[in-house]
């Protein structure tokens, strides 16, 4: 069975002191918690100090973005080898804010995914539709197109996590119902099976992201194709993040 993964995307939040307090609370709370994997994704400037904070714990470290080239004259960018050097094991690629605010298209995201997995790190590849696309009945087509942009047999399945994050539910307080989330996750899995085969895809984790909170985490985690969460605002409060982790752990332990 798939072990749930709870990933926290801190976005552009936390000073060093605040980050140490947050990770300290998470670290204490996950002691003894099994049947769930935990990932924190701080801003770039916090990666090295947070690597030291999570060393020797069950908490994994990820980055929120990356440049596709290994080095070069790209002012303000960070490469995959740099992320690996400070202890990152995961990189978020294609978050809706990167797509819609910073204009990253499918071709560029495909290069980023390839760069991440070629370096031996795991790509957390995000897909999801806008409100207009959902209301037009285009959710499945949009998600399928985004999957096709970056995922092929050349991308190792064991170095890939897919995160479905409906754009209309990110930071809005709106959340896809458990049924809506399951519908899209159940659509995604056979699309991945077309690439990797059923047995391999049965082990591949698909996360839900979009206003995940302690109050809805258990219902989301209980869906058969929802394998954890990519958490935004709630991951910035240790107690809330731990409650989501606990909800996923309970589901993981029961399967």
Q: Read off the pLDDT of residues 47-76 as tens digits, 9 standing for 90 and up.
A: 999 999 999 999 999 999 999 999 999 999
pLDDT at residue 126 above 70? yes
> What CA–CA distance (Å, rounded) separates 142 from 15?
36
pLDDT of residue 1: 77
pLDDT of residue 32: 84
Across the chain, mean pLDDT equals 96
DSSP state of 4: P
- Mention every residue, 6+ apart, whose C-beta is less than 8 A from residue 97: 11, 170
The 10s digit of each residue's pLDDT in 176-207 is 899 999 999 999 999 999 999 999 999 999 99
- What CATH architecture does domain 5-254 belong to? Alpha-Beta Barrel (3.20)
Q: Give me the residues paired with residue 229 across strands.
A: 6, 208
pLDDT of residue 172: 77
Q: Supply the residues annotated as catalytic.
A: 95, 165
Confidence label for 82 from pLDDT (cuts 50, 70 and 90): very high
- CB 59 within 8 Å of CB 30: yes
DSSP state of 224: T
> What CA–CA distance (Å, rounded) separates 15 from 32?
28
- CB 203 within 8 Å of CB 227: no
3-state DSSP assignment of residue 31: coil
Confidence label for 173 from pLDDT (cuts 50, 70 and 90): confident
For strand 160-164 and strand 122-127, is the pairing parallel, antiparallel, or unpaired?
A: parallel
- CB 197 within 8 Å of CB 217: no
Confidence label for 250 from pLDDT (cuts 50, 70 and 90): confident
Q: What is the mean pLDDT of residues 81-90?
A: 98
pLDDT of residue 68: 98
Q: What is the DSSP string of 135-172?
A: HTT-HHHHHHHHHHHH--TTS-GGGEEEEE--GGGSSS
Q: Which residue's entry shows tokens 């552009």?
A: 12
Q: For the chain, give the percent of residues with pLDDT over 70.
A: 98
Q: Which comes out higher in pLDDT, residue 172 or 139?
A: 139
- CB 42 within 8 Å of CB 10: yes
What tokens were used for 155? 């991308």
- Range list of H helices, 31-130: 47-54, 80-85, 96-100, 106-118
Alpha carbons within 13 angstroms on the beta-carbon side of residue 52 total 6
pLDDT at residue 39 above 80? yes
Residue 205 gets the label, from left (phi > 0), alpha (psi -120 to 50) or beta, of: beta
pLDDT at residue 137 above 70? yes
Confidence label for 253 from pLDDT (cuts 50, 70 and 90): low
Could you tell me the CA-to-CA distances from 214 to 66, 72, 77, 87, 245 in Å, in that order? 29, 42, 34, 29, 9
pTM of the model: 0.96
- Range list of H helices, 197-237: 198-202, 214-221
Q: For the chain, give the percent of residues with pLDDT over 90.
A: 92
pLDDT at residue 254 above 70? no
């Amino acid at each position: 069975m798939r072990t749930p993964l709870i990933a926290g995307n801190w976005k552009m939040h936390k000073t060093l002191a605040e980050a140490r307090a947050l990770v300290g609370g998470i670290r204490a709370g996950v002691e003894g918690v099994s049947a769930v994997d935990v990932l924190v994704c701080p801003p770039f400037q916090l990666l090295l100090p947070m690597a030291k904070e999570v060393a020797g714990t069950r908490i994994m470290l990820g980055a929120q973005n990356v440049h596709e080239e290994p080095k070069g004259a790209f002012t303000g960018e960070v490469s995959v080898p740099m992320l690996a050097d400070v202890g990152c094991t995961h990189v978020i690629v294609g978050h809706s804010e990167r797509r819609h605010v910073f204009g990253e298209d499918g071709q560029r995201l495909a290069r980023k995914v390839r760069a991440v997995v070629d370096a031996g790190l795991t790509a957390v590849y995000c897909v999801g539709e806008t409100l207009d696309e959902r209301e037009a009945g285009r959710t499945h087509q949009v998600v399928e197109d985004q999957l096709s942009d970056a995922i092929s047999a050349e991308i190792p399945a064991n170095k890939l996590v897919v995160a479905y994050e409906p754009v209309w539910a990110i930071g809005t307080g709106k959340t896809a119902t458990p049924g809506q989330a399951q519908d899209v996750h159940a659509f995604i899995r056979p699309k991945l099976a077309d690439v990797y085969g059923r047995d391999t895809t049965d082990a591949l984790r698909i996360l839900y992201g979009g206003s995940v909170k302690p109050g809805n985490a258990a219902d989301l985690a209980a869906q058969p194709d929802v394998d954890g969460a990519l958490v935004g605002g709630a991951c910035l409060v240790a107690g809330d993040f731990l409650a989501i982790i606990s909800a996923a752990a309970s589901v993981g332990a029961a399967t």
